[in-house]
């Protein structure tokens, strides 16, 4: 299962982007600068979950 970002909680801080070891997360302008996870690249390691300051990411 790929990590999921709850867009209503995401602040677009970018902590998850810099933490992802697979570069599966990007901030997307078309989503108001919020994070988006590429499901084909996500390795389900959970690193992004641990660093999200607002708890917007889950598996």
CB 5 within 8 A of CB 57: yes
Q: For the chain, what percentages of helix, strand and coil (3-state, to nearest 5) are there?
A: 20, 20, 60
Which pLDDT belongs to residue 1? 78
Domain ranges in the chain are 1-40
C-alpha angle with apex 50: 8 to 11, nearest 5 degrees? 25
CB 35 within 8 A of CB 17: yes
Rounded percentage of the chain residues whose pLDDT exceeds 90: 95
Strand (E) or helix (H) holding 15: helix 15-19
Which pLDDT belongs to residue 38? 96
Question: Looking at the whole model, is its pTM more than 0.85?
Answer: yes
Confidence category of residue 45, pLDDT binned at 50, 70, 90: very high
């Amino acid at each position: 299962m790929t990590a999921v970002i709850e867009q209503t909680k995401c602040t677009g801080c970018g902590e998850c982007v810099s933490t992802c070891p697979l570069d599966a997360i990007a901030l997307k302008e078309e989503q108001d600068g919020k994070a988006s996870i590429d499901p084909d690249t996500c390795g389900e390691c959970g690193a992004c979950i641990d660093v999200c300051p607002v708890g917007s990411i889950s598996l």
